[in-house]
Chains A and B, each alone.
Chain A
Amino acid sequence: MNKKKWIEYALANGFDSFEIYQETGKTKTVNWYQGTTDSAVTSRVTGTALRGRISGKMLSYATEETGDEHMEQIINEMKEQAGIIGSSESGTILSPEKTDECTSSRTYTPFTNEEIRAALSDLEKSILAYDPCIVQAVHLVYEEESVERTIFNSKGLDIKDKGSVQVIGGGAVASRDGDIRNDFRHETVSSFDSFNAAAFADKLCGEVVRQLGAGPVKSTSCPVIFEKEAMTSLFAAFSDIFSGDRISRGISPLSGKEGRRIFSGLITMIDDPREDAAPFIYNYDDEGHPTCRKYVVREGVFETVLHSTESAARMNTVSSGNGFKGGCSAPVRAVPKNFFIVPGDMPLSGLMECIGNGLVITDLAGLHAGLDHVTGDFSLQCSGYKVTDGERAENVTLITVAGNYLEMMDRVLAVGNDIEWKTSPAACPSIAFKELSIGGL
């Protein structure tokens, strides 16, 4: 693709600005099952997304066929869109802006094929040897992924950002007296030498075996601790309530609440695409805007709405560098990237002492459907364990936890110190809440 030629053609045909975004991803995945390689997947894919403005309207097209012979047809198809798009505010093609780029301190040494087999074989054996109750080691996988993004536009922007990650994952199935429990975990691995299969298996299997014999509790309302991984998944699922896309349209429960206290003073939330502890760092968002660290909520006060250029235009402000795509062909949306709740200083055991009697939730299911992003209401399947007199007691499963996210975050008892970044761009410590509804027997 001759990018200059495409841009010149677009400008000569009515566009006042034009952008070419390209993303090249390479992956390698090896799945292991019962002592041998089960399947292997390798890929190399490049996608191209075009955006351009005519008369204040942003027009877009994504394609995997970028030969110059397609240029005329694609740009003419984009022009047709201008005829139907209405009068609402649109995004901007950005001029270059000076920023000090940073690099991740994480480094990855790809495993050789022999090392992949050795690591997965070792992991399988460690899982199966953990306890006689463990009957299967499943979903054993090694994955490496690298992504390079480039943005080139008619205003002189010409940037490149790249990142890579390596992950090992595995699952265990435990069975006793007809009760079956399973779990899966994954972690980033910098090199073969740094991977400890026995430690991975201990963390995975310990919880699976403990869950055997778990059952529901009676429906009640009680203090609840969301353990760090469950808290992270709920926090990530509700993160779009801070998006300028929803707030500018008046369909977030936080619309009109900027500058006001929305949560407990114990809650501080930061969005930082350059956070070094996160698996990927981003110097630029997908519009080429430099990213930065920002308080979204500081001690309970809603400070920053997350913006792309489009949502910023709707609210008559500027982008916060949060215009990201959910894939090369997806439109730019205002979303958090490397979003986290600032940890407190209390360990999980301290949180349990704090609530005295209640419930610790370790796992949530149904997050894609059981949330209402307009009201903040949620009702989710969960499992975990009871807390009696500040100590871990019986395990529980097949129960629901329900409440309203805003009310819950306003009724915080204490924030834990155990934040851990895994493979997602969000992280939280464990947090104790005064009361939530539990559905069970």
Chain B
Amino acid sequence: MFTRPELEKYLTRCMQSDADFAEIYEEDELTEHITALNEDIEQVSSSRQCGTGIRLYRGVQSVYGYTNDTDDASLTALIEDLKGAISDNEAGSCPAASDVTLTRVEYENNNPVRIDFEKTPLSEKASLLKRAAKAALQYDPRIEKVQSGLLNVRQDVQISNSEGRLVSDSRVRTRIMVEAFAREGDNLQSGGDRPGAGMGLEFYEQTTPESAGREAARTALVNLSAKDCPSGKMPVIIDNGFGGVIFHEACGHALEATSVAKDQSVFCNKLGTKIAADCVSAVDDGTIPNAWGSQNIDDEGNFQKRRVLIKNGILTSYMVDRLNGRRMGVPSTSSGRRESYRFEPTSRMSNTFILAGNDSFEDLFEGIERGLYAKKMGGGSVNPQTGEFNFSVSEGYMIENGKITYPVKGVSLIGSGSEILMNIDRVCSNLERSQGMCGSSSGSIPTDVGQPAIRVSQITVGGTANE
């Protein structure tokens, strides 16, 4: 990381141009990934990524450059390129720039780490995978094999800008990923579990590798007996935890300023209006201690916040980064995030979830003659402009006359976000969050999705059963 005088020198140089704002993002990231097949450790890979990204604004135009060649000559050359590019856009006079003076911002770490993965012997980390595999293999004799991975990441960032702000953050996260394979004759099915958190290895004291292994095995076994699922519109109960991917896809992305600022979202100009059923309130909260999607500061150096997106069905906030805030004429909501120095930040989610309601789980099944219970979800995607979204169901069951009858496989759910939000008619009290990786223009970032179990009166279900 550069020293404060070095950063002041570079930022001052950046501002000796047509730029009205300059920012330097420095990153030093260590990633460790251990993989295993059954109880045999197959691979350990470590990677270190260290680089710098520099961004200049002129009004709502931006230029961004990044390199991992951070000697003075290379960085100076990059700055001169960027200055040329920001001035190249339109004719304009170069304002007289004053020297940038930085003040370091200190704060209390909201995401402390107790057991540092870098100080833990490899053998101890490998044993976490062996424990997960053992638990899965012992769960049932039909579990044939188990693949697993342990991911540990430490991302140190330092962000400075021409407004004089200098701030650092150290983000540590860990995740165990277990996939179990169950066989019955020629029928081979898989099931997975991937819990994680923004903390050190103490995470595995509360969420044990054994629990992840057993959950993966349980899902694989359910899929062994799953039947083809019928297609068509029907009521769907989406369970808590990763079920929240429905809100992430159907609504979350379309509330990011990345789409809203350029009139490319179905939710443009809808602040203060009703976009969801009364029973729906939702937040994006980057401040939850040690959560998977939490940070002390966003990737533009602002303190993370809790953003209430929807309150009782009314849209109350978008998620806004600095540049799109300029376009929209509103301040940043501390939502500027990026995968690494190789990406220019934009507005992104952190830990996004629907708040708990008052219904009991049993209430959700009342009155459903034929529907789907989506217990576990896979990933999904959305077209923010049209609001059309899709996501896959990794563990699902048919509901007939209010009762769960049989498991189904090969299922996806599709719909339009604006319609689905209005069609949520029951919200349970069992709020839970789960971990995922979210992809967008600023790369792949860790985010929590979450919700209590909800019921949607109608969604299009895609299956393979011919009726």
Q: Which residues of A contact B (CB under 8 A)?
A: 33, 36-47, 49, 58-65, 77, 80-81, 83-88, 113, 136, 138, 173, 180-182, 216, 219, 221, 249-251, 253, 329, 331, 365-366, 368-370, 372, 374-375, 377-381, 397-404, 437-441
Interface flag for B190 (CB, 8 Å): yes
A65 vs B326: C-alpha distance in the bound complex, in angstroms? Answer: 36
Q: Are the C-beta atoms of B460 and A45 separated by less than 8 Å?
A: no
Q: Is the CB of B188 within 8 A of A43?
A: no
Contact assessment for B381 and A41 in the assembled complex, using a CB-CB cutoff below 8 Å: no
Chain A positions within 8 Å of B264 at CB level: 136, 138, 173
**Complex: chain B residue closest to A216, CB-CB:** B460
Alpha-carbon separation in the docked complex, A438 to B383 (Å): 21
Q: Which residue from chain B places its CB closest to the CB of A36 in the assembled complex?
A: B89
Q: What's the nearest-Cβ distance from chain A to residue B184, in Å?
A: 13
Tell me if A381 and B412 are in contact (CB < 8 A): yes
| Given A216-B460, A249-B37; A439-B378 close (CB under 8 Å) | no
Residues of chain B at the chain A interface (Cβ within 8 Å): 31, 34, 36-37, 40-51, 60-69, 74, 78, 81-82, 85, 88-90, 122-123, 126, 144-145, 147, 181, 188-190, 230-233, 262-264, 266, 342, 344, 378-381, 383, 385-386, 388-392, 409-412, 414-416, 439, 460-467
Q: How close is A439's CB to chain B, nearest CB, in angstroms? A: 3
- A selection of 23 A-B contacts at a CB cut-off of 8 Å is A33-B262, A43-B342, A46-B68, A60-B43, A61-B45, A63-B47, A88-B42, A113-B88, A138-B264, A173-B264, A249-B37, A249-B147, A251-B190, A253-B188, A369-B378, A370-B390, A375-B188, A379-B412, A399-B460, A400-B461, A404-B464, A439-B414, A441-B233
Tell me the minimal C-beta distance from A213 to chain B in angstroms. 13
The answer to whether residues A219 and B231 also contact, given A84-B122, A366-B381 and a CB cut-off of 8 A, is: yes
Q: Contact between A379 and B463 (Cβ–Cβ < 8 Å)?
A: yes
- Check if A182 sits within 8 Å of B385, measured CB to CB: yes
B44/A400 in contact, CB under 8 A: no
B122 and A81 within 8 A (CB) = yes
Query: Given the complex, which residues of B lie within 8 Å of A136, measured CB to CB?
Result: 263-264
Distance in angstroms from B168 CB to nearest chain A CB is: 19
Give every chain A residue within 8 A of B232 (Cβ-Cβ): 219, 439-441
Residues from chain B with Cβ under 8 Å of A33 in the complex:
262
With A181-B386, A437-B463 as given contacts, are A87 and B65 in contact (CB-CB < 8 Å)?
no
A274–B86 alpha-carbon span in the complex (Å): 40
Q: Which residues of A contact B147 (CB under 8 A)?
A: 249, 251
| Docked-complex contact A366 and B344, CB < 8 angstroms | no
How many Å from the CB of A149 to the closest CB on chain B?
A: 16
Question: How distant is the Cα of A38 from the Cα of B391 in the complex, in angstroms?
Answer: 32
> How many whole Å from B84's CB to the nearest CB in chain A?
9
Max chain B Cβ within 10 angstroms of own Cβ: one of A40, A65, A331? A40
A342 to chain B, nearest CB (A): 28
Which residue of the partner chain, among A219, A329, A372, contacts B47 with CB atoms under 8 Å? A329
Q: Which residues of B contact A221 (CB under 8 A)?
A: 466
Known: A251-B145, A329-B47. 14 other contacts (CB 8 A): A33-B262, A39-B344, A41-B65, A59-B44, A60-B43, A61-B45, A77-B46, A85-B42, A88-B40, A113-B88, A251-B188, A365-B390, A369-B391, A380-B412
A63 vs B43: C-alpha distance when bound (angstroms): 17
Contact B122 A80 (CB under 8 A): yes
B41 in contact with A402 (CB, 8 Å): no
B380–A45 contact, CB under 8 A?
no
Which residue of the partner chain A has the closest CB to B88? A113
Q: A64-B68, A83-B122, A398-B388 are in contact. Are A331 and B45 (CB under 8 A)?
A: yes
Closest to A252 in B: B188
Chain A positions within 8 Å of B46 at CB level: 60-62, 77
Selected contact of A437 from candidates B81, B342, B466, CB within 8 Å: B466
Check B385 against A62 for contact (C-beta < 8 Å).
Answer: no
CA distance A180 to B416 in the complex (A): 12
A39 to B60, CA, bound (A): 9
Chain A proximity of B132: nearest CB distance (Å): 15
Q: Are A400 and B460 in contact (CB under 8 A)?
A: yes
CB-CB under 8 A from B465, the residues of chain A are 437
Tell me the bound Cα distance from A60 to B35 in angstroms: 13
Distance, CA A64 to CA B147, complexed state (A): 29
Q: How far is the CA of A374 from the CA of B62 in the complex (A)?
A: 44
Could you tell me if A372 and B81 are in contact, using CB atoms closer than 8 angstroms?
no
User: Is B89 in contact with A37, judged by CB distance below 8 angstroms?
Assistant: yes
Could you say which of A41, A85, A368 has the most chain B C-beta atoms within 10 Å of its C-beta? A41
Contact call A402/B464, Cβ cutoff below 8 A: yes
Q: Which residues of B contact A138 (CB under 8 A)?
A: 262, 264, 385
The 3 closest A-B pairs by CB, nearest first: A400-B462, A439-B231, A369-B379
